[in-house]
């Protein structure tokens, strides 16, 4: 990559794991970090990879927008945080969340194999979207020991300092 002198670390959260897995085939990447993310399987849809239970959980916390996308129920997601943090979290969700292309989750992942670059997996031990046991399976498929953070799925908002510390060291992870 032009202009980047240090390590290039690409981070993907949740379904973003399928996207970051395609990046090394297109440009220089020194490490991928999957954050409570889906590790795709060539030829399989993301919804198949995560399993019917996770698919149903995603459907239960989102609504069909009628255009191939789903939008998360922000009030429901905000109910996961302590009462004194709810308003701030809801404001954060409203400013950051966009409709998700559902069709992309139900089509076969287009990659031929997982990338051959150093990998890391951040597992959220309190995740109610992708169960920790499923995350352990995904980390095992990557051949890595997961880095655990006691957090819900949206670790970047629930435990930003802990996640930032992991990501700041990602260029040095072995």
pLDDT band with cut points at 50, 70 and 90 for residue 119: very high
Q: Whole-angstrom Cα distance, residue 121 to residue 127?
A: 14
Please return the burial class of 93, using the count of CB atoms within 10 Å of its CB with bins 0-12, 13-18 and 19+.
Answer: middle
pLDDT tens column, 139-155: 999 999 999 999 988 89
pLDDT tens column, 55-106: 998 888 888 999 988 888 888 888 877 888 889 888 988 888 888 888 888 8
The answer to whether residues 130 and 151 touch, using CB atoms and an 8 Å cutoff, is no
9-168 is a CATH 3.40.50.1820 domain: yes
Write down the domain spans for the chain.
Answer: 9-168
Any idea which residue has 């490490």 for tokens? 31
The answer to whether residues 32 and 20 touch, using CB atoms and an 8 Å cutoff, is yes
The two structure tokens encoding residue 125: 């031990």
Half-sphere exposure of 109 (CA within 13 A, CB side): 24
pTM of the model: 0.86
Question: Which of 78, 55, 44 lies closest to 154 in space, CA to CA?
Answer: 78
Please return the burial class of 86, using the count of CB atoms within 10 Å of its CB with bins 0-12, 13-18 and 19+.
Answer: middle
Length of the chain: 174
Residue 6 has pLDDT above 80, yes or no: no
């Amino acid at each position: 990559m032009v202009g980047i002198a240090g390590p290039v670390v690409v981070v993907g959260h949740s379904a973003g794991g399928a996207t970051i897995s395609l990046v090394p085939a297109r440009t220089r990447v020194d490490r991928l970090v999957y954050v409570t993310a889906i590790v795709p399987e060539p030829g399989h849809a993301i919804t198949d990879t995560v399993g019917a239970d996770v698919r149903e959980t995603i459907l239960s916390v989102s609504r069909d927008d009628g255009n191939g996308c789903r939008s998360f129920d922000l009030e429901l997601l905000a109910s996961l945080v302590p009462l004194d943090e709810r308003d701030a979290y809801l404001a954060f969700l409203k400013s950051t969340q966009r409709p998700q292309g559902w069709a992309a989750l139900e089509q076969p992942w287009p990659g031929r194999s997982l990338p051959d670059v150093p990998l890391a997996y951040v597992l959220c031990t309190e995740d109610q979207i992708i169960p920790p046991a499923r995350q352990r399976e995904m980390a095992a498929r990557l051949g890595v020991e997961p880095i655990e953070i006691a957090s819900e799925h949206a670790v970047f908002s629930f435990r930003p300092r802990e996640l930032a510390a992991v990501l700041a060291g990602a260029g040095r992870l072995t």
